[in-house]
Amino acid sequence: MILETADIKSVLTSSNTTQKMYINGEWVLSESNQTSNIVNPANGELIGTVTVGTEEDAKKAIEAARKAFYENGWMNSRARDRSELLLQISNKLEERKEEFAYLETLNNGKTLRESLGDVEDAVNQLRYYAGLATKPHGQTFDVPDDIQAMVVREPIGVVGIIVPWNYPLVMANQKIAAAIAAGCSIVVKPAEITPLSLIRLFEIIDEIGFPPGVVNLVLGSGRKVGAELVSNPNVDKISFTGGTDTGIKLMKSAADTVKKISLELGGKSPNIVFADADFDTAVDYALYAIFANQGQVCSAGSRLLLEESLYEKFVPELVRRAKMIKIGPGWNDGIEMGPLVSEAHMNTVLNYIEIGKNEGATLLCGGNRMIEGDFGKGYFVEPTIFGDTTPDMRIVQEEIFGPVLAIQTFKTEKEAIELANGTAFGLAGAVFSQDGAKAQRVIRQLRAGITWINTYHPTFNEAPWGGYKQSGIGRDLGTYGFEEYLETKQININLKVEPSGFFEGQ
Ligand code: NDP
């Protein structure tokens, strides 16, 4: 699936046009009068210009969402209608899936095959939640005292959705789909550097014609626009995906209004390989675990925990395969790894590589920015693997969010579990072993929310996504992700309508 340069350009909105925010059913420029340049990380070229929103813009969007929900009837909208709206978005997105995939690749840098997978995922998320909206929710209880007790589920209200740059479309889309299915009104803020696919999704939303104010898009920085969403008392809930440091700030700010929050944060996930694992499968997934999307994956298998007896055989093969990974602009045929998302992020990753060397880890391969020829125009970093690490090293403890793997070794099952759980994070983890009982035993000991046996990375919209420990609070996706946007109301109905007699005097 290759487009010529001319076609790539046709996917883009001209950078002479300032792309707008979507507030109260209208496309608007920010009164800041500022614009921000959006850059293709594979070659540094300008691929779009967008308006830069402010706190004031966020307030307008929140007000519109609040009015739509509380005054204009969205609170009592019918599940069947919401389901229909989501299906319409999914159909239009599916019709344009190649265009969206190209746009994602041009803005984020990921390979076209990964972008296409993301768009397909987004289509499926919309359909999944369209279905879930109309399914039974609530409970009834058998209680004493001639009371019919029941629980109804109601939309939580105005939701602020804040997402990062590593899956710009799919991260926002999964929250949008669940929140709309639940009946909330929303204000979405993409990462400042990757807004293009989301702006285009809102073009579809605009075409379909939601009631004004139900879905809003604000552009701008997390520091201003994001922080306003979190602190504003008129936002009922924040659904956030991003770094743990940001999550901590957010939680503190949300506390002032006792705002409901769900946080999908960072990870430093262990991929445990026992000596009895299927060798080729384990090597293959060890690469995929860390180098998919250039390692910019919250659930990346960034720590490879190898049984010591396997080290001599496993590591040379892993390094050989890492060196064979085809790197280049994500839209070129056969490319397996693209650039990092931005120059600033590339520098963070390169800095971690220096930290690893200074800490005394052995650099087994990679370690450099790629600067030869056209590579120099983009933000490409070689697949990098460190051996001889110790648990206290920063490259073992901290999320690097790039193509950097730290190998740790263990002798016993107990040691593997201790090392695996030995960070502040608890997002994901995997075990490779042909001993089914052992694999399950170890998985059950991992303090992590997303786990795999003899595979790494497959995720499904039907199943909950989220972490233990400092990897977050709450879940996205599946029925659990739907719950995040619902309140729970108890209704007690007296079946015997007569005075209670609690006070005797009549
Ligand atoms: P950040 O935490 O820096 O940013 C995430 C979003 O939050 C961005 O939209 C950002 O805006 C915004 N933001 C920044 N500061 C604030 C603030 N004070 N108040 C409100 N919003 C704010 O993360 P990155 O974009 O760097 O994304 C990478 C991180 O995301 C990694 O740690 C990764 O693990 C995590 N992640 C977690 C996932 C999960 O499901 N657990 C999935 C994907 C990523 P802006 O950037 O525009 O300034």
Where are the strands (E) in 77-172, listed by range? Answer: 139-142, 147-155, 158-162
Q: Is 198 in the pocket of ligand 1 (CB under 6 A)?
A: no
Ligand 1 centre from 192 Cα, in Å? 10
364, containing H or E segment: strand 362-365
Q: Is 426 in the pocket of ligand 1 (CB under 6 A)?
A: no
Environment class of 351 (CB within 10 Å of its CB; exposed 0-12, middle 13-18, buried 19+) = exposed
Residues 166, 430: Cα–Cα separation, whole Å:
21
CA-closest candidate to residue 283, choices 252, 310, 255, 256 = 310
Report, as ranges of residue numbers, the positions in the chain whose pLDDT lies below 70.
1-6
Q: Which residue has the tokens 């391969």?
A: 365
Looking at residue 3, its pLDDT comes to 61
Q: Is 252 in the pocket of ligand 1 (CB under 6 A)?
A: no
Looking at residue 447, its pLDDT comes to 98
Ligand 1 centre from 13 Cα, in Å? 25
Angle at 268 between CA 406 and CA 466, to 5 degrees: 155
Looking at residue 4, its pLDDT comes to 59
Q: Is 189 in the pocket of ligand 1 (CB under 6 A)?
A: yes
Q: Is 401 in the pocket of ligand 1 (CB under 6 A)?
A: yes
For the CA of 263, the nearest atom of ligand 1: 41
Residues 385, 380: Cα–Cα separation, whole Å:
16
Q: Which one of 192, 246, 251, 484 would you pick to mutate in the ligand 1 pocket, going by the greatest count of ligand atoms within 8 A of its CB? A: 246
Six-digit token pair at 294?
């250039």
246, containing H or E segment: helix 244-255
Q: Give the distance from CA 437 to its chain's centroid.
A: 32
Q: Is 469 in the pocket of ligand 1 (CB under 6 A)?
A: no
Q: How many CB atoms lie within 10 A of CB 4?
A: 8
Concatenating the DSSP letter of every residue in 51-97 gives: E---HHHHHHHHHHHHIIIIISSGGG--HHHHHHHHHHHHHHHHHTH
Q: Which one of 228, 298, 427 would you pick to mutate in the ligand 1 pocket, going by the greatest count of ligand atoms within 8 A of its CB? A: 298
Six-digit token pair at 457?
């990375």
β partners of residue 306: 273, 409
Query: For the chain, what's the residue count?
Result: 506
For the CA of 244, the nearest atom of ligand 1: 32
Q: Is 192 in the pocket of ligand 1 (CB under 6 A)?
A: yes
Q: Is 160 in the pocket of ligand 1 (CB under 6 A)?
A: no
Looking at residue 326, its pLDDT comes to 98
Looking at residue 254, its pLDDT comes to 98
The residue contributing the CA closest to ligand 1 atom 35 is 242
Instruction: Provide the 3-class DSSP secondary structure of residue 182.
Output: helix
Who contacts 351 (Cβ-Cβ below 8 Å, separation ≥6)? none
Residues 187, 127: Cα–Cα separation, whole Å:
21
Main-chain dihedrals φ then ψ at residue 498, nearest 5 degrees: -155, 160
Main-chain dihedrals φ then ψ at residue 279, nearest 5 degrees: -60, -55
Instruction: Provide the 3-class DSSP secondary structure of residue 124.
Output: helix
Six-digit token pair at 81?
């209608």
Six-digit token pair at 259?
């705002």
State the amino acid at position 501 in one-letter form. Answer: G
Ligand 1 centre from 498 Cα, in Å? 56
pLDDT (tens digit per residue) in 199-244: 999 999 999 999 999 999 999 999 999 999 999 999 999 999 999 9
CA-closest candidate to residue 101, choices 8, 36, 191 = 8
Residues 109, 155: Cα–Cα separation, whole Å:
36
Ligand 1 centre from 71 Cα, in Å? 32
Residues 116, 105: Cα–Cα separation, whole Å:
9
Residues 324, 302: Cα–Cα separation, whole Å:
19
Name the DSSP letter for residue 226.
Answer: I
**Does residue 48 contact residue 35 with C-beta atoms inside 8 Å?**
no
For the CA of 401, the nearest atom of ligand 1: 31
Q: Which one of 228, 241, 299 would you pick to mutate in the ligand 1 pocket, going by the greatest count of ligand atoms within 8 A of its CB? A: 241
Ligand 1 centre from 87 Cα, in Å? 28
Q: Is 241 in the pocket of ligand 1 (CB under 6 A)?
A: yes
Six-digit token pair at 286?
């060890």
The residue contributing the CA closest to ligand 1 atom 14 is 222
pLDDT (tens digit per residue) in 90-122: 999 999 999 999 999 999 999 999 999 999 999
Residues 289, 269: Cα–Cα separation, whole Å:
9
Q: Is 168 in the pocket of ligand 1 (CB under 6 A)?
A: no
Q: Which residue has the tokens 């929900």?
A: 69
By DSSP bridging, strand 46-51 and strand 35-39 are antiparallel
Residues 405, 426: Cα–Cα separation, whole Å:
17
**Does residue 187 contact residue 220 with C-beta atoms inside 8 Å?**
no
Six-digit token pair at 161?
């959705």
Looking at residue 15, its pLDDT comes to 82
Ligand 1 centre from 31 Cα, in Å? 25
426, containing H or E segment: strand 425-426
Q: Is 180 in the pocket of ligand 1 (CB under 6 A)?
A: no
Would you name the residues annotated as active-site residues? 264, 298
Instruction: Provide the 3-class DSSP secondary structure of residue 114.
Output: helix
**Does residue 37 contact residue 51 with C-beta atoms inside 8 Å?**
no
Q: How many CB atoms lie within 10 A of CB 160?
A: 32
129, containing H or E segment: helix 112-133
